[in-house]
Amino acid sequence: MRTFNLVLFFLVIRLGALSQSQIIFSRSMGGLNTGETPDLMIYDLQTKETSLLHKGSIKKRGEYSVTISRDNKLIVNTYKFGGWKLGIAELTDSGLINFRKFTDRRNYEFNASWSYGGAQVAYEEYNWGSNDTEIFIADANGKSITQFTNSRGDDQMPVWTNDDTRIVFASDRSGNYELFLKSVEGNEIKNLTNHPSIDFAPSSSRISSKIAFLSNRTGSIHLYVMDYYGNNLVDLTPELKSTVRFKDFQSSGFWSYQTSWSPDGRQIVFNTMAGTDLELFIVNIDGTGLEQITNNADSDFCPYWTGR
């Protein structure tokens, strides 16, 4: 019995290590917005090898921006169901199975985020009638949908806090993109960044009350962390030289930028321009160990660290 328990113990440890060793992201040939099809890829941090997870299902559209529940259900932006919709599938060793539409909504849908408890999904909807983007919350089956935000500006890129009581999102309701924190129950809302720069691509740590995001406040796009109150701001990549000329959220390619915490809360993966194309980077939460993990002529974007 003791031998069995030891084997089981080491198996659990091994599976835990594997769960933190992969990053899912999208890759399209050449520069961003060139019409090439995004495929879903997996980067293995142990072997430092990249492999194909899912071939883009619609030519020149493909799939990007995933979120994964604790029971390995994957939600992704897809054009598979007529216009940009959210697709859901089971993530297995052999790829995605049972790929289906997540909701029955008419509007375009983007950027889903599973709650840490797994019971709800936050995402954004673009309404063609109002030309506006708002955030909605659905249950784990894509039903019981409620509208979470309602503003004149676009509300985008929602992520849950680690206690599932609040949602962080990017919005241009104040004239430029800022990060806001809003409670799920009630109307409490706070501008976390309040800066004339473009602040976007938030993600939250499962381990601590910390938020990561990208900003061009130095002239270059850097990765920052702060707490839920907008305090203790730290630039993790002060030496990184990465610039993008901001026109609007879509045509500038800001939709393709994403940050994601490792499950143990010790590192963050993000993508930004490296030369003429988007690449993936990893950095420790104390700002050390900045590493570029992709290096090619393609566009690598929307990274998501698995094992949540």
**DSSP H or E run through 124:** strand 120-127
Residue 123: which CATH number?
A: 2.120.10.30
- Structural domain of residue 91, as residue ranges? 2-305
The predicted pLDDT at position 187 comes to: 87
207-265 pLDDT per residue, tens: 999 999 999 999 999 999 999 999 999 999 999 999 888 888 888 899 999 999 999 99
DSSP string, 250-300: TTTTGGG--EEE-TTSSEEEEEEEETTEEEEEEEETTS---EE---SSSEE
CB 184 within 8 A of CB 166: yes
- 149-186: per-residue pLDDT in tens? 999 899 999 999 999 999 999 999 999 999 999 999 98
pLDDT in tens, 245-261: 888 888 889 999 999 99
Report the candidate in 115, 100, 158 with the shortest Cα–Cα distance to residue 133.
Answer: 158
pTM, 2 dp: 0.92
- Enter the tokens of residue 112: 């889903």
Strands 155-160 and 234-235: unpaired
Within 10 angstroms of residue 244's Cβ, the number of other Cβ atoms is: 17
Q: Is 213 left (phi over 0), alpha (psi -120 to 50) or beta?
A: beta
Reported as a single tens digit per residue, the pLDDT across 32-48 is 988 899 999 999 999 99
